[in-house]
């Protein structure tokens, strides 16, 4: 099997020499990856590591949600817990993005990320439909959207009540005493 040895990641995959840029912590959906210091837009945060499998080999192993296709022929199986990047959760409006080049996946900041903020990227449509949509996306963007929808539904029902009250009043004033 043309597997590649997983490289050790210490959070310095971007080549800077400071302490790791992130830690694993509790997030809304379980575990997540959080910035431990401000991360500038454009910084490579961590590499998504794991054995390189052909897509055909992937069809033969039990499905796992950490399979990350790098091109039409190759996929990285990132299920190992030593692959710190697997802790990065999905967001429909992420602050990072995977950059795939030369059969390697590196996660890059696409916004300035504040210390303490969770690091997220968009997993893409296929993964979203298979794993996230069935139980509802819990990213900030989708939560905000649902909050707005609930507020609109409440406002609409309040308007209906008001209309009914006005109608009742109008009918009341018309009826003879
Ligand atoms: Zn979402």
Q: For 125-175, what is each residue's pLDDT tens digit? A: 988 999 999 989 999 999 999 999 999 999 999 999 999 999 999 888 776
Q: Which residues surround ligand 1, an ion (CB under 5 A)?
A: 92, 137, 139, 142
For residue 101, give both structure tokens: 């080049």
Element housing 159 (H / E): helix 140-174
Tokens 């409006």, residue?
Answer: 93
Spacing, Cα 68 to ligand 1 middle (Å):
19
Spacing, Cα 146 to ligand 1 middle (Å):
10
Spacing, Cα 164 to ligand 1 middle (Å):
37
DSSP letters, 94-133, are -SEEEEEETTEEEEEESS-B-TTPBPEE---HHHIIIIIG
Q: Which fold has domain 22-135?
A: Beta-clip-like (2.170.270)
Question: What residue segments make up the domains of the chain, in order of their start?
Answer: 22-135, 139-177
> What is the pLDDT confidence band of residue 19, given thresholds at 50, 70 and 90?
low
Q: Does 4 have pLDDT greater than 90?
A: no
């Amino acid at each position: 099997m043309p597997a590649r040895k997983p490289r050790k990641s210490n959070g310095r995959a971007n080549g800077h020499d400071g302490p790791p840029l992130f830690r694993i912590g509790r997030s809304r959906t379980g575990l997540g990856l959080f910035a431990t210091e401000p991360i500038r837009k454009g910084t490579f945060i961590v590499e998504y590591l794991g054995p390189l499998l052909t897509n055909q080999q992937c069809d033969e192993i039990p499905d796992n949600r950490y399979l990350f296709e790098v091109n039409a022929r190759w996929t990285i199986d990132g299920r190992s817990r030593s692959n710190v990047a697997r802790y990065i959760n999905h967001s429909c409006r992420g602050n990072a993005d995977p950059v795939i080049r030369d059969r390697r996946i590196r996660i890059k900041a696409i916004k300035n990320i504040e210390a303490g903020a969770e690091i997220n990227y968009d997993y893409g449509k296929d993964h979203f439909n298979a794993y996230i949509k069935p139980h509802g996306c819990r990213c900030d963007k989708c939560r905000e959207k649902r909050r707005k929808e609930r507020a609109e539904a409440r406002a609409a029902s309040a308007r209906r009540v008001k209309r009914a009250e006005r109608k009742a009043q109008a009918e009341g004033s018309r009826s003879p005493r």
